Chains A and B, each alone.
Chain A
Amino acid sequence: MFKRSLLFLLIAAMTVGALFLFTSSNAVTAAQGGQVEIVVVWSGGELDAFNQVIARFEQNTGIDAVVNSAGRDLPSVLVSRVAAGNPPDVAALPNPGQMAEFVRQGALVALDPAIVADHPKAFVDLGSVDGTLYGVFLSADLKSLVWYNTKQLGPNAGLPSWDQLMAFTEGLAARGQTAWCIGLESGAASGWPGTDWVEDIMLRTAGPEAYDQWVNHDIPWTDARVKYAFELFGQIARNPKFVLGGPQGALSTNFGESPNGLFTSPPGCYLHRQATFIQSFILSANPGLQPRVDFNIFLFPPIDPQFGNPLLGAGDLISVFRNTPQARELIKFLASAEAQEIWVGTLKKLPINTRVNVSVLANPIAERAAQLLFTAAAFRFDGSDLMPAAVGSGEFWTAVLDYVGGADVCSVLRRLEAAADRAYTRGAATNNVVEPGACP
């Protein structure tokens, strides 16, 4: 008897559960009040800062906003929720490449261009597909920066050319010291810091035009210019005398802990190439430090003089998956100067909305980076973020890791070219028998 009623209970529970599965998650109350869910990638201090932004939104509108952090698993969370027909109302996207894929699937809501009236055209374009706005940038990061300890190199250090950079690196090595801290470990995203290196070098050795062709797969990965960019990165990253801990140290060190080598005594390294956001990592791991007083930045130097010093950057992108009034309110708010002032003021990132007063950064390094970004002669978005995920968030990361670990440059480039041939739907080099380039 007991068993039978248990069975009945079980079946009843499953039926009710199944019903729930089919009926839940619709029904959004109109306009005033109501709820909106936003899924984000941030955790820790970044999540705290975002919660401050959201608190202001709730205060202004009376809408209840629920923030869910998916952490580093954001791409799989979004993909599976979209596939299941249960997307969040609003979400931070990993990159514009992923945004384009969601647009192609019809998963995103087109946005009112008026909300980005105060955003620079370059970022509006990056948030658009075929002229329609689908994504709004909350902030930007400048990536072409070299960080150093002012106690070691003085208050206004700089290495204005690649040759000087290499001479400095070799000089230290000759004295038994290592110049660079590189950290490529980042959990499921390991390898991305190396792709930034290759992109920064590619911009400076081949120029922004060739960079765009490379990102769009109009030139193959086996092209001599791509190979050269990898090799220059390898000159530093693969040399045990130039990198703290050698190549294995670079592969094993977490990107967030890597800059700490600048501040050890004796110094583990003297230079660290990383984006603006690394400042919050440096400050939380080394609480006593003052930006610009104790550490500072200079621009990653030009390599081929004809291309000057194009800047590499990236940004935090937000899109809307469900067309509700609450979601539209939220995206409008996130695009505004009011929201971005809270966000960048806390995290020392760079604002997108031009009405944000950079003095809210209250941080000399971030203010300088913002000026550099706004006055850049040429700016390019992180290429791996624009490539299809299988290349930009897959094979490119793996290739960097394998190359630093000692793999032959042509073997990783041929693999990348095969992955690109499969992943791209456009691009002159896609499925074309182009000249094999430098890696036959």
Chain B
Amino acid sequence: MKTRGLIPWLYIAPALLILSFYLVYPAIETLYNSFFKLSSLRAPGQFVGLENYVRIFLQQDTLIALRNNALWFLIVTAVAVGLGLLLAVLLDRVRYESFAKSLIFMPMAISFVGAGVIWKFVYAFRPEIYPQIGVLNAARVAWGSDPIAWLTQSPWINNLALMAVFIWIWTGYCLVILSAAYKGIDRDLLDAARTDGANEWQVFWHVILPTLRSTIVVVATTMTVFTLKVFDIVYVMTNGNFGTEVLANAMYKEMYLFQRYGFASAIAVVIFLAVLPFIVINIRRFLEQEAVR
């Protein structure tokens, strides 16, 4: 049943109008600006072609940001989705499942800035003459070890420490979605596999995983998009110092502190291009699922 003519357009017109006003127009403006050397948004800039883009791949801070975003994408996505999946399967078997799930989901209710502040305290490091106020270092000292400066030691300790915060927030989200999909699996299918002599590991590997594949892809691509855009946690906890810079924070600095609007726009476009394929995958999956329905 398809309605033709003007009526459908009339219905989507407000949405299209608003979208093009606050999404399409700024996106085009950003792309346009990225080809200019622009030190004020109210004065014309100087056309520099692709220089801003070339600079992203030559300058040390943006190179570090590119490296870190790649690490965030690989490590955070793998760990958050992996943990979410593991917990979804394991929690299905415990009695207090909903309670445990709520606990793990809880950090989602905390803003990124709030989480950054909380974890900055968790990682706090003070010279040894003072009592340690950070949980981690207090535990280390009680254990008889030396405290560790979690946030200032580059490149592994501090970057992993920041990623842990992100994983802490998002694992609950992965868990809830994967758990819902897991519960949707026909129990007869699992029982049939077990009757055929498959052990639990084989059931997980050969039955559960393939069945959940499309959900896992959706969750993983969503997580990827979030990690490529990560900003708040890094801004609050290290401000990108000590080799923890990420693209979004570099963009923020270039835009609001250094007022290099052209270069900041180029970074924004790079983030957008990096995110784009994952959005496409996500939408394709979504359309496939809709088609099945």
Which of chain B's residues 34-69 have a Cβ closer than 8 Å to chain A?
Answer: 39-43, 59-61
Measured CA separation A227–B146 after assembly (Å): 33
Given contacts A83-B41, A245-B128, A394-B253, contact A251 B149 (CB under 8 A): yes
Contact of A187 among B59, B239, B260 (CB under 8 A): B239
Measured CA separation A245–B126 after assembly (Å): 7
Chain B residue nearest to A391 in the complex (CB): B258
B129 close to A75 (CB less than 8 A): no
Chain A residue nearest to B21 in the complex (CB): A18
Which of chain B's residues 66-97 have a Cβ closer than 8 Å to chain A?
Answer: none
B257 close to A389 (CB less than 8 A): yes
A264 beta carbon closer than 8 Å to chain B: yes
A75 close to B256 (CB less than 8 A): yes
Chain A residue nearest to B151 in the complex (CB): A252
B127 close to A79 (CB less than 8 A): no
Contact of A14 among B18, B42, B129 (CB under 8 A): B18
Contact of B258 among A83, A266, A389, A397 (CB under 8 A): A389
For residue A106, which residues in chain B have a CB less than 8 angstroms away from its CB?
Answer: 42
B144 beta carbon closer than 8 Å to chain A: no
For residue B41, which residues in chain A have a CB less than 8 angstroms away from its CB?
Answer: 83
A252 close to B154 (CB less than 8 A): no
For residue B239, which residues in chain A have a CB less than 8 angstroms away from its CB?
Answer: 187-188, 190
Q: How many residues on chain A are close to B (CB under 8 Å)?
A: 42
B258 close to A245 (CB less than 8 A): no
A75 close to B257 (CB less than 8 A): yes
Which of chain B's residues 120-173 have a Cβ closer than 8 Å to chain A?
Answer: 124-130, 149, 151-154
Contact of B152 among A85, A105, A248 (CB under 8 A): A248
Give the most central of B127, B154, B258: most A CB within 10 Å.
Answer: B127
Contact of B14 among A11, A388, A390 (CB under 8 A): A11
Q: Please report whether the interface of chain B is mostly helix, strand, loop or mixed according to DSSP.
A: loop
Measured CA separation A11–B16 after assembly (Å): 12
Chain A residue nearest to B240 in the complex (CB): A398
Measured CA separation A83–B242 after assembly (Å): 30
For residue A83, which residues in chain B have a CB less than 8 angstroms away from its CB?
Answer: 40-42
B241 beta carbon closer than 8 Å to chain A: yes
Measured CA separation A398–B126 after assembly (Å): 21
Measured CA separation A432–B19 after assembly (Å): 47
B231 beta carbon closer than 8 Å to chain A: no
For residue A105, which residues in chain B have a CB less than 8 angstroms away from its CB?
Answer: 39-40, 42-43
Measured CA separation A14–B76 after assembly (Å): 38
Chain A residue nearest to B245 in the complex (CB): A398
Which of chain A's residues 391-440 have a Cβ closer than 8 Å to chain B?
Answer: 393-394, 397-398, 401-402, 405, 415, 418, 423
Chain B residue nearest to A73 in the complex (CB): B256
Measured CA separation A274–B151 after assembly (Å): 24
Measured CA separation A121–B39 after assembly (Å): 31
For residue B214, which residues in chain A have a CB less than 8 angstroms away from its CB?
Answer: none
A253 close to B126 (CB less than 8 A): yes
A244 close to B259 (CB less than 8 A): no
For residue B127, which residues in chain A have a CB less than 8 angstroms away from its CB?
Answer: 244-246, 249, 253, 261, 268
B182 beta carbon closer than 8 Å to chain A: no
A156 beta carbon closer than 8 Å to chain B: no
Given contacts A83-B42, A248-B153, contact A398 B259 (CB under 8 A): no
**A151, chain B: closest CB distance, angstroms:** 17
Measured CA separation A39–B149 after assembly (Å): 35
A191 beta carbon closer than 8 Å to chain B: yes
A76 beta carbon closer than 8 Å to chain B: yes
A48 beta carbon closer than 8 Å to chain B: no
Measured CA separation A126–B292 after assembly (Å): 70
**A322, chain B: closest CB distance, angstroms:** 15
B112 beta carbon closer than 8 Å to chain A: no
On B, residues with C-beta under 8 Å from A are 14, 18, 39-43, 59-61, 124-130, 149, 151-154, 235, 239, 241-242, 252-253, 255-260
Query: 13 A-B Cβ contacts within 8 A?
Result: A11-B14, A79-B259, A101-B259, A105-B39, A187-B239, A244-B129, A248-B153, A252-B126, A389-B257, A393-B257, A398-B241, A401-B152, A418-B59
On A, residues with C-beta under 8 Å from B are 7, 11, 14, 75-76, 79-80, 83, 85, 101, 104-106, 187-188, 190-191, 244-246, 248-249, 251-253, 261, 264, 266, 268, 388-390, 393-394, 397-398, 401-402, 405, 415, 418, 423
Other A-B contacts than A76-B256, A106-B42, A401-B242, 13 sampled, CB-CB below 8 A, are A7-B14, A11-B14, A79-B255, A188-B239, A191-B241, A244-B127, A244-B129, A248-B153, A249-B126, A249-B127, A252-B125, A253-B126, A405-B152
